[in-house]
Structure 1
Amino acid sequence: MNRFRHEDDYRQLCAASGLRVRSLEVRPQVLHYPDVRSLTHELKALGAHNLNPGRPSGLTGRERILGMVQAYEGFRQPAGLPATYQVVYAVLEKA
């Protein structure tokens, strides 16, 4: 799990850009996947990777991956395995 910025961080970044923030909203978007493999393939295609500083990058062992898959199955819903994305919608204009 990556740690992402908070809404206030996005507001500050937008303000620092020299643009005026007309609106900024963070909405959760939940997508469901039939299995962990489908989810990880999509994350890889999106270019998602480890964003946490201090965490080693590199390969994860088979046992650790199997443990993660087993733990994630505990979150299964009727629609599949959920993944929540925090989507930022912003409207900016020249100041």
Structure 2
Amino acid sequence: MSVSVRIPTILRTYTGGESEVSAEGGTLAEVLEDLDTHHSGIKGRIVDETGELRRFVNVYVGNDDVRFLDNLATPTPDGAQVSVIPAVAGG
């Protein structure tokens, strides 16, 4: 399944400045693996050492936060939009 992945500004150094890239995979985990194959190192900024999503990174498939779905096992249908959004803190 081919999906479109929106890349936040802070991670665009991994994608050569591209704000949106394509990746393949039937689940979010597979999409992140494929993304890392073509943009080495980016997956490590999205998932932690235990293989879970980093605490301050939000990932959406379509309009749905994957933390409220199946996390990395969330299906990524063909043509889906995956958005990686770093959490913003402040006061």
Q: TM-score, normalised by structure 2?
A: 0.30
Larger RCO (CA within 8 A; separation ≥ 6): 1
Q: TM-score, normalised by structure 1?
A: 0.30
Task: Give the structure with the larger strand fraction.
Answer: 1
Q: Which has the larger radius of gyration?
A: 1
